[in-house]
Amino acid sequence: MPEQPLADLSAFPPGFRWSAATAAFQVEGSRDADGRGRSIWDDFVDAPGLVRDGAVPDPGPDSYRRHRDDVALLKDLGVDRYRFSISWVRVQPEPGGPVLQAGLDYYRRLADDLLEAGVTPFATLYHWDLPSVLEERGGWLDRDTALRFGEYAEVAAQALGDRIRHWYTVNEPVSTSLQGYAVGTLAPGKQLLFASLPTAHHQLLAHGLALRALRDGGAVEAGIVNNHTLVLPAGETDADLGAAAAYDLLHNRIFADPVLTGAYPDLEAFGIPPMPVEEGDLDLISAPGDFYGINFYNPTTVAAAAEGSSIPFEIVPTPGAPVTGFGPEWPIVPSALTDLLVDFRERYGDRLPPLVIGENGASFPEPGHVEGPVADTDRIAYLAGHIEAVGAALAEGVDVREYTVWSLLDNFEWADGFTQRFGLVHVDFDTAERTPKASFDWYRALITEARS
């Protein structure tokens, strides 16, 4: 039993599921192996100056070659499920083109090994690695990308559906739209501001097409997962309240409302052009999922932007909140997760399916090389606080079924390269050696306690 106290689990019902997660581009490495194609993240990484320290994800944790090490860790950890993602370009380098048997075989082996270890494979179809050839044709700005994604979902469902029965469709469309296409801090690095918003609709359409394909392929459980944040106004002025409402619309409601209500919020009221909706789109997008996934890391405090700004809000530090390794952009306020979950229940009512926490975790400064377990007490405190926040939402009647730690492993943290470590397991990026941290033992003990 670890020295750190466990979280209060009194509100968690029997059968509540505990999980850990990774994503293909962040952990697999082997970008040139077995015919894998090129994604927008390969292009982003290879462009000078876009990734901190010029880091590249090879070999990183090297999970393409060492996935059995990961499965052994998951078995030891005792999780119910493992959330991982399937690399579109490892399975189908050219959308609409031939399927790579080597890529499919890798995911079959991974799923088989998980099942043998007693861990349910919970796969994400899309975790940001759009094929480069589609980006060259317009990427998520182009409706055709959603159609190609629907075809890819059919390929995955037909090839892997006998082993993988639980699926996330699209991960964090808000991050792709706002960071990838609006401000350019993530791939594909566009800076289109509000002109980026058609990418939101096309990703949601892709979700709807994928949900249909996965169901046809025998999926037991499927749904979308988005990054959501509790938006806090910096003050009580009309300007700050209006700025917070605008940010809530852009970060939360544009992505959740169509899925959960079948309609977009009133964009015209905020001076935003309508989405490129065609007949039947919203019926596809709002087809009931088996769950709604929420990734949560932090609240967002928003103030009115200075006069003349191209956007109507400014993200500011959250007063009095400690921060993670990302600094003021990632304040630590566990109660914000409770408030967000309750707000979802109140906002969407009986249209809200069971909720799944698809990601929650924190990075803190840690050494690159270790001789033994990292005493990551800050991470344990973060996880304990947020698990208790889920418990508080459960106590208020919110139907949450699963909690997922991001991440099982230290990995390639997108534009921040290897400077941010989220893992329950330390990875030496020179050798790919894995060393469980104190938080690994803590989470294992918590799962054991929850089942007792």
> Among 260, 269, 296, which Cα is nearest to 393's?
296
**For the segment 417-444, what is each residue's pLDDT rounded down to a tens digit?**
999 999 999 999 999 999 999 999 999 9
Could you give the CA distance from residue 433 to residue 61 in angstroms, rounded to a whole number? Answer: 8
Positions in the chain whose pLDDT score sits under 70: 1-3
**For the segment 158-178, what is each residue's pLDDT rounded down to a tens digit?**
999 999 999 999 999 999 999
Query: For residues 3 and 442, is the Cβ–Cβ distance under 8 A?
Result: no
> Across the strands, what pairs with 435?
426
Please give the pLDDT value at position 3.
59
* Phi, psi at 359, each rounded to 5°: -155, 140
Instruction: Report the Cα–Cα distance between both ends of the chain, in Å, rounded.
Output: 14
Residue 241, SS3 per DSSP? helix
Q: CA of 267: how far to CAs of 139, 247, 248, in Å?
A: 23, 12, 12
> Across the strands, what pairs with 36?
none
Residue 284, SS3 per DSSP? helix
Please give the pLDDT value at position 71.
98
Residue type, 371: E
> Across the strands, what pairs with 81?
19, 120
Q: Is 279 a catalytic residue?
A: no
DSSP for 62-109 reads -HHHHHHHHHHHHHHHT-SEEEEE--HHHH-SSTTSPPPHHHHHHHHH
Beta-strand (E) ranges in 114-220? 120-126, 166-171
Query: For residues 312 and 243, is the Cβ–Cβ distance under 8 A?
Result: yes
Tokens 């698990």 belong to 387
Residue type, 381: A
Set 135, 154, 359, 388: catalytic member: 359
β-pairing, 425-427 vs 434-436, is antiparallel
**For the segment 356-388, what is each residue's pLDDT rounded down to a tens digit?**
999 999 999 999 999 999 999 999 999 999 999
Q: Which domains does the chain have, with CATH numbers?
A: 17-451 (3.20.20.80)
Running DSSP on this structure, what letter comes out for residue 4? S
Please give the pLDDT value at position 1.
37
Set 28, 172, 366, 388: catalytic member: 172
Please give the pLDDT value at position 5.
81
Full-model pTM = 0.97
Please give the pLDDT value at position 310.
86
Could you give the CA distance from residue 54 to residue 48 in angstroms, rounded to a whole number? Answer: 7
Q: Is 359 a catalytic residue?
A: yes
Residue type, 85: S
Could you give the CA distance from residue 150 to residue 137 in angstroms, rounded to a whole number? Answer: 17
